[in-house]
């Protein structure tokens, strides 16, 4: 059996990330994956990256990471090396495509094949699953030849079977207050709250509203 620690959208905020990593150490996960957006919204990027590196976390790039890199490039006025954070973010892949315990797993920040924008949005503003969205994405993923799809970006927390693929979004450590552990090969998922707060199933930054509905932690 192999267990994977899953985090996403840590957004340069060290404390909830550190708590998630502590949970992963306690539960003795075999590998940790971050599904992008290491940068953005807060100013603790360097310390956040150091935590990820110390935990040997495998990361993919998100839209905020790309924006940070572009900003740093625009600010450069000489041939000096990029700052440490930019150098780290620049080497991150857009996707991870792997097989673990006989299960094919595809990781991308928003949606396959390599999108960092858009994203698989399955919940409404109150955190309830929208059946029509589930049906739409099940159809969109009908030819997606992987057992598991891991995504972030939308700040929504879910574990849903879409067609033949189990789609998992662990949410944001800072905004959704959670992380997950995926157990393979049985594909069981455990959800852990962070920061002493209930898990937020949907966090809507655009409207500056938090809908604090507790996440269902049952595996599907």
Instruction: Please determine, for residue 182, whether its predicted confidence score (pLDDT) is greater than 60.
Output: yes
- On whether the CB atoms of residues 40 and 89 are closer than 8 A, the answer is no
66 backbone dihedrals φ, ψ, rounded to 5°: -65, -40
What is the rounded CA–CA span in Å between residue 56 and residue 114?
23
R_g over Cα of the chain: 17
User: Regarding predicted confidence, which is higher, 83 or 207?
Assistant: 83
Token pair in block for residue 65 = 């990471």
Mean pLDDT, residues 185-205: 94
How many percent of the chain have pLDDT more than 70? 90
Instruction: Please determine, for residue 66, whether its predicted confidence score (pLDDT) is greater than 60.
Output: yes
67 backbone dihedrals φ, ψ, rounded to 5°: -65, -40
CA 153, chain centre distance (Å): 7
- Judged by DSSP in three states, 89 sits in helix
What is the rounded CA–CA span in Å between residue 45 and residue 49?
6
CA 97, chain centre distance (Å): 15
Outline where DSSP puts E strands in 21-102.
31-34, 58-59, 95-100
What is the rounded CA–CA span in Å between residue 89 and residue 102?
30
What is the rounded CA–CA span in Å between residue 165 and residue 190?
18
> What domains lie within the chain, and their CATH numbers?
2-211 (3.60.21.10)
Question: Which of 8-17, 35-44, 78-87, 196-205 comes out lowest in average pLDDT?
Answer: 78-87
Closest CA to 216 of 123, 151, 125: 123
Q: For strand 202-204 and strand 178-184, is the pairing parallel, antiparallel, or unpaired?
A: unpaired
Instruction: Please determine, for residue 62, whether its predicted confidence score (pLDDT) is greater than 60.
Output: yes
- Torsion sign (Cα): 115, 116, 117, 120: positive
Q: What average pLDDT is seen over the chain? A: 91
Token pair in block for residue 59 = 């990361």
Per-residue pLDDT reduced to its tens digit, 18-35? 999 999 999 999 999 999
Closest CA to 83 of 37, 41, 39: 39
DSSP state of 153: S
Instruction: Please determine, for residue 77, whether its predicted confidence score (pLDDT) is greater than 80.
Output: no
| 101 φ/ψ sector (left φ>0, alpha ψ -120 to 50, else beta) | left
């Amino acid at each position: 059996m192999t267990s994977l620690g899953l985090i996403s959208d840590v957004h340069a905020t060290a404390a909830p990330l550190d708590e998630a990593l502590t949970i992963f150490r306690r539960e003795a996960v075999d590998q940790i994956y971050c599904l992008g957006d290491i940068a953005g919204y807060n100013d603790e990027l360097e310390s956040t990256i150091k935590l990820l590196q110390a935990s040997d976390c495998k990361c993919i790039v998100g839209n905020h990471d790309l924006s940070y890199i572009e900003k740093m490039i625009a600010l450069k006025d000489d041939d000096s090396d990029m700052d440490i954070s930019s150098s780290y973010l620049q080497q991150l892949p857009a996707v991870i495509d792997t097989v673990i315990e006989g299960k094919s797993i595809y990781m991308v920040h928003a949606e396959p094949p390599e999108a960092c924008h858009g994203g698989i949005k399955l919940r409404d503003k109150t955190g309830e699953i929208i059946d029509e969205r589930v049906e739409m994405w099940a159809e969109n993923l009908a030819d997606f030849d992987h057992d598991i799809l891991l995504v972030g970006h939308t700040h929504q927390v879910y574990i849903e079977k879409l067609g033949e693929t189990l789609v998992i979004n662990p949410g944001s450590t800072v905004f959704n207050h959670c992380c997950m552990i995926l157990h393979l090969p049985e594909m069981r998922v455990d959800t852990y709250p962070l920061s002493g707060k209930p898990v937020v199933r949907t966090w809507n930054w655009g409207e500056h509203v938090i809908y604090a509905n507790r996440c269902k932690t049952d595996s599907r």
